[in-house]
Amino acid sequence: MNIIDRFSRPLRDLRISVTDRCNFRCVYCMPREIFGREYEFLARAQLLTFEEITRLARVFVDHGVEKIRLTGGEPLVRSGIEQLIEQLSGIEGLRDLTLTTNGALLRKKAQRLREAGLRRITVSLDSLDNAVFKAMNDVGFPVEAVLDGIDAAGAAGLWPIKVNMVVKRGVNDGDLVPMARHFRGTDIILRFIEFMDVGNSNGWRLDDVVPAAEIVRRIDAELPLESVSPNYTGEVANRFRYRDGGGEIGIIASVTQPFCGGCTRARLSADGTLYTCLFASAGSDFRAPLREGKTDEELGEYLRSVWRVREDRYSDLRFSNTPALQRKVEMSYIGG
């Protein structure tokens, strides 16, 4: 069964956060001054079990979801994540199962993830400069260890591999061309993401955003690019390829080039709250009906009731000063 929202957008993609915890303290996501030692993360009993996640995933697939991405926090810190992947990979009708990670645990987990049924992977890496990268992840984690994890993912057969770089002016924008040079010719797709105002704690300012057009211009000046058509309707990244055949890059430009009109994503938090927008201020509780014994049909009806009234388009309205848009859920809670 396919369902559409008030702007005729179907439900196609589900991001599932399996934990709100992370072993990094990236300044644009979980700044240490907010997520310090005194911060109270979700208790184990509050988290959806793997069986609960899988049951909800089946309901979502029955209503049009074709792709599931596991996120966090950092999903690889959730104990037994391979078991969940095994369960999800067996869902009939699911076409794509992937995961986004910071790469810190990838080297030792890549092979088991592939064996469990993970098909491909995305790794976050914001700089090749160790000083810059360590400052951004704020735990002193080295670039080399992430690159080792990427190599392990490739060796395990987790292709295609995508690498995401969040670009913040004056922090890591000097690495645009070095990152492009490093991954050019490797079959790894590098994607540059405009620094976004997700959540309320990352100190976002428009002045810190490096616009997509500038990113393309700076790379094109060194490594000539040409535009490429989207792989599918609603693809969030604008695609470009190197004119010499060295591969492609992507630009995710939620700030300067909003793509709300084609958004088909829903996000399920680790405690079972469904958010219909990355920038949402509130969600719908699916954990309670699960644990109250609702049937799959009842859960499906609840999902239909939520999605059919969806009218989110935050990025289109970002600069409208709409009061309801000022308080947003943190990215670490719903996985970006």
Position 318 scores a pLDDT of 84
* Spans of the chain below 70 pLDDT: 321-326
Position 206 scores a pLDDT of 93
The CATH number assigned to the domain with range 13-334 reads: 3.20.20.70
Position 335 scores a pLDDT of 83
Position 325 scores a pLDDT of 52
Position 317 scores a pLDDT of 85
Position 232 scores a pLDDT of 83
Position 197 scores a pLDDT of 87
Nearest partner of 102 among 138, 146, 140, 132, judged by Cα? 146
Task: Write down the H helix ranges in 38-116.
Answer: 50-62, 81-89, 106-116
Q: Quick one: residue 87, left, alpha or beta (phi over 0 = left, psi -120 to 50 = alpha)? A: alpha
Position 326 scores a pLDDT of 59
Position 331 scores a pLDDT of 83
**For 159-217, what is each residue's pLDDT tens digit?**
999 999 999 999 999 999 999 999 999 999 999 999 998 888 778 899 999 999 999 99
pTM: 0.95
Position 322 scores a pLDDT of 56
CB 92, CB 121: distance < 8 Å: no
**For 315-331, what is each residue's pLDDT tens digit?**
988 877 555 455 788 88
Residues 39, 4: Cα–Cα separation, whole Å: 38
CB 190, CB 183: distance < 8 Å: yes
Position 266 scores a pLDDT of 98
